[in-house]
Amino acid sequence: MHVVAEPQTLADARRVRSLISFHDPAGNRLEAFHGAEIDDTPFAPGRSISGFRTGPLGLGHAVLTVENIAPVMAFYVDVLGFGLSDYIEKPFRAYFFHVNARHHSLALIETGRNGMHHLMVELFSLDDVGQCYDIAQTQEGRVGVTLGRHTNDFMTSFYAKTPSSFMIECGWGGREIDPEDRAVAREMRLRAAASGLRAPVQVMEGNYKLMSGTCAWWDGVSGKS
């Protein structure tokens, strides 16, 4: 890995105190920085939305296509310190990595070529995802993957094609994990799948409304039916 200390002009452009750049084994340019400038003006979205789920979970996640997973995975795990969340081997090889409580901040898909697959941003409200989906559908060919829910991170999302060669995943309800207990969690998921259990929707306090229908008898006697 060849590390370059970038000139101050680039750090100024990034609004950080200093940064370095380097490349992963697949040729992707990465930057590490410190001393990020904090704007005193709150973020103003282009249209009315509830906001993005970031903070300690980071921006979202990035998914890279790689020619060969092994050397790229070794770099992100052994050099940068990412932890393996889970993986699949069929119908293709895909590995998911975490650096915080978000299920994955990085994923690698072995496709035989190196590139960027998509970038995910998570919103606070499912309504925001639906409205974005409606807007994307007004543009022919904009939607790359229709609405659905992932089995590993529970994210409800769709994918939109960008003017560049990658997609943006617009999602809601992503799963938080315990980064120290992945092997146990994986075994629990396998047992749950084998027994037909279904994962609950991931919500935050104040971001849901409890519906009736838990128990027909109770709904009847409590007047909720």
At residue 202, the pLDDT reads 80
How far is residue 17's CA from residue 33's CA, in Å, rounded to a whole number?
Answer: 7
Say if residue 11 is in the same domain as residue 107: no
**Does residue 207 lie in a domain region?**
no
Judge whether 6 and 21 are in contact, CB under 8 Å: yes
Say if residue 81 is in the same domain as residue 119: yes
Say if residue 54 is in the same domain as residue 23: no
What is the phi/psi pair of residue 30, to 5°? -120, 150
Judge whether 98 and 83 are in contact, CB under 8 Å: yes
Domain with residue 102: its CATH number is 3.10.180.10
How far is residue 121's CA from residue 219's CA, in Å, rounded to a whole number?
Answer: 38
Say if residue 75 is in the same domain as residue 23: no
At residue 8, the pLDDT reads 81
**Other Cβ atoms within 10 Å of 83 Cβ, number:** 17
Residue 85, helix vs strand vs coil: strand
Query: pLDDT of the chain along its 225 residues, tens only?
Result: 778 877 788 999 999 999 999 999 999 999 999 999 998 998 899 999 999 999 999 999 999 999 999 999 999 999 999 999 999 999 999 999 999 999 999 999 999 999 999 999 999 999 999 999 999 999 999 999 999 999 899 999 999 999 998 999 999 999 998 876 656 666 766 777 788 777 778 888 877 777 666 666 666 666 665
At residue 210, the pLDDT reads 73
Query: What range defines the domain where residue 30 resides?
Result: 1-38
At residue 155, the pLDDT reads 96
One DSSP character per residue, 6-74 reads --HHHHHHHTSSEEEEEE-TT--EEEEEE-----SSPP--SS----B--GGG-SEEEEEEES-HHHHHH
| Lookup: tokens for 176 | 């938080």
**Does residue 199 lie in a domain region?**
no
Q: Is the pTM above the cut of 0.85?
A: no
Say if residue 9 is in the same domain as residue 91: no
The owner of tokens 């200093």 is: 18
Structural domain tally of the chain?
Answer: 2
**Does residue 203 lie in a domain region?**
no
At residue 2, the pLDDT reads 78
Say if residue 125 is in the same domain as residue 95: yes
